[in-house]
Amino acid sequence: EVQLQASGGGLVQAGGSLRLSCVASGLPSTGDPYDMGWFRQAPGKEREGLGSISSKDGTTVYADSVKGRFTISSGNTKNTVYLQMNSLKPDDTAVYYCAADRVLAARFLYNLGWHDMDYWGKGTQVTVSS
């Protein structure tokens, strides 16, 4: 069974920082490797893609809305990724999700959408107070 477990959410003041972690287990080891990425969904809004990291070479892709403030990185343990969020704003308040998909980078680069992603994790709440 594939599981993606995100953690690290919480309450932070505007201007502060937070680091989220995601550990994926059970991903199939055959076929192309899985890229991993981060998404968020605020109340009443559509799910927004934040960025991804390639499992092949560590290349990252970011949405314009978070470029320069958020950084995605891989952990030393396989299938572990982090989302470092700096200069947080109240508009960053949302449930944050990690996901795994074999073509995630392409989805960001070519606006392919998220409706048929391979795997989603459960979210972690991030609340930024003003």
**Residue 75 or residue 93, greater confidence:** 93
Beta strands 124-129; 10-13: pairing state:
parallel
Average pLDDT of span 20-42: 93
Q: Is the pLDDT score of 115 beyond 90? A: no
Percent of the chain with pLDDT over 90: 81
Please give the backbone phi and psi of residue 104, each rounded to the nearest 5 degrees, phi first.
Answer: -65, -45
Token output for 31 = 């076929």
* Predicted confidence band of residue 78 (pLDDT cuts 50, 70, 90): confident
Average pLDDT, the chain: 94
Give me the DSSP letters along 56-100: TT--EEE-TTTBTTEEEEE-SSTTEEEEEE-S--GGG-EEEEEEE
| Residue, of 6 and 79, whose pLDDT is higher | 6
- What is the Cα–Cα distance from 9 to 94, expressed in whole angstroms? 10
Q: Do 33 and 55 contact (CB within 8 A), yes or no?
A: yes
83, with CB counted inside 10 A (0-12, 13-18, 19+), is buried
